[in-house]
Amino acid sequence: MKHDFKFEKTSNPKQKPNPDTLKFGKNFTDHMFLMNYSTEKGWHDGRIVPYGNLSLDPAAAVFHYGQEAFEGMKAYRTPDGNVRLFRPYMNAARSNASNARICMPEIDCELFVGAIKALVDTERDWIPNKPNTSLYIRPFIIADDPFLGVHPAATYLFVIICSPVGPYYDIPGGGLAPAKIYVECEYVRATLGGVGFAKVGGNYAASLLAQMRAVSEGCAQVLWLDAIEHSYVEEIGTSNAFFVINGEVITAPLLGTILPGVTRASVIELLKKWGVKISERRLKIDDVALAAKDGSLSEIFASGTAAVISPVGEIKYKDSKITIAGGGVGPLAQRLYDTLYGIQTGTIKDDMGWTINV
Ligand SMILES: *Cc1c(COP(=O)(O)O)cnc(C)c1O
């Protein structure tokens, strides 16, 4: 389906940032996508306009009751000069699952992906072509209806902004850097029946205090435990967590407290294809610690759009420090990273049918 969105070209194009020193999420492109929703008209007036401030009534529901959800994905430049997206329909479907949970209207998946494609096509010149660079895409939906009172809003705004980004880790030439992770035993991210499976802004506000503590403990990220027993491993920061014990890869099941990562799904599919045993099951942090002690824990890594695969070199759990894979990069993390990153950027043939050209 082809969508014809109105287009207002910027009269004031920005200078593009130096591709060698790109930071994550600091620079934004020249245009953004906007689309309104009202109960009478549904989603309407999709348009690409110059990047700039939004004007909202101070009573807009998003400011008071937090009706907001977002997505995160990337556009990559391939060696032959094409631009491609990685599994964008999964982001569209997940966006709708987030919206439904907080009573926001769903967006037709073809319309969602069509809007992404149209904006990325407009901002083609902003997609850097150095290794380990890409265009990060941030779609989000807010309730812009001006009222005070706790009930679902009647009007919404869908926005897409884009940011050229560099390598997630500051390693010359890119690649993987093992991280230190802090096991959070007090604060929790999500509980059964809550909003943990939805990419809603409030989840991240609620995570900040724990993240600050992890940093003050010398760690890069939090390892979240379940909210009831503070015992089962759930996620690492804003990425999904994988544990390799006795050759079995274990990740938390999607019971409602885990964000269903597109990268997570892709890791699972690749491991199945490779004949590696992969289980979506609950795993106790104490069993991880025991496996580290008896030598059966070989790797821990996290998966997400921003860094693809992030190996964990050390976890800090209560008073003990556990070193994983000798503090280095495990073979499975490396193979997954190389394969996923290769498919995304077009240096490896996409025999999974995961990418689409813009
Ligand atoms: C976005 C996110 C992920 C990773 O999802 P991807 O689709 O792989 O980028 C995992 N956990 C949380 C909490 C997230 O917000």
What is the pLDDT at residue 4? 82
Q: How far apart are CA 27 and CA 23, in angstroms?
A: 8
What is the pLDDT at residue 232? 98
CA dihedral sign, ordered 123, 77, 269, 255: negative
Mean pLDDT of the chain: 95
pLDDT > 80? residue 3: no
pLDDT > 70? residue 322: yes
What is 249-269 written as a DSSP string? EEE---SSSS---HHHHHHHH
H or E element that contains 356: strand 355-357
pLDDT tens for residues 148-162? 999 999 999 999 999
Tell me which amino acid residue 20 is.
D
239, 302 in Cβ contact below 8 A? yes
pTM of the entire predicted model: 0.96
State in Å: Cα 76 to ligand 1 middle.
Answer: 18
pLDDT tens for residues 97-144? 999 999 999 999 999 999 999 999 999 999 998 888 999 999 999 999
Give me the percent of the chain exceeding a pLDDT of 90: 92
- Tokens 């930071």 appear where? 23
Q: Using CA positions, which residue lies closest to atom 10 of ligand 1? A: 239
Choose one of 259, 305, 337 to mutate for the ligand 1 pocket test, by most ligand atoms within 8 angstroms of C-beta: 259
Q: At what angle do helices 88-101 and 109-122 cross, to 10 degrees?
A: 120
Ligand 1 contacts CB of residue 266 (under 6 A): no
Atom of ligand 1 nearest to the CA of 91: 7
Atom of ligand 1 nearest to the CA of 94: 7
Ligand 1 contacts CB of residue 257 (under 6 A): no
What mean pLDDT do residues 175-193 have? 93
Please report which confidence band the pLDDT of residue 1 belongs to, taking 50, 70 and 90 as the band edges: very low
pLDDT > 70? residue 175: no
Instruction: Name the least confident of 24-28, 104-108, 187-191, 268-272.
Output: 24-28
Ligand 1 contacts CB of residue 262 (under 6 A): yes
> Can you name the residues that pair with 182 across neighbouring β-strands?
222, 316
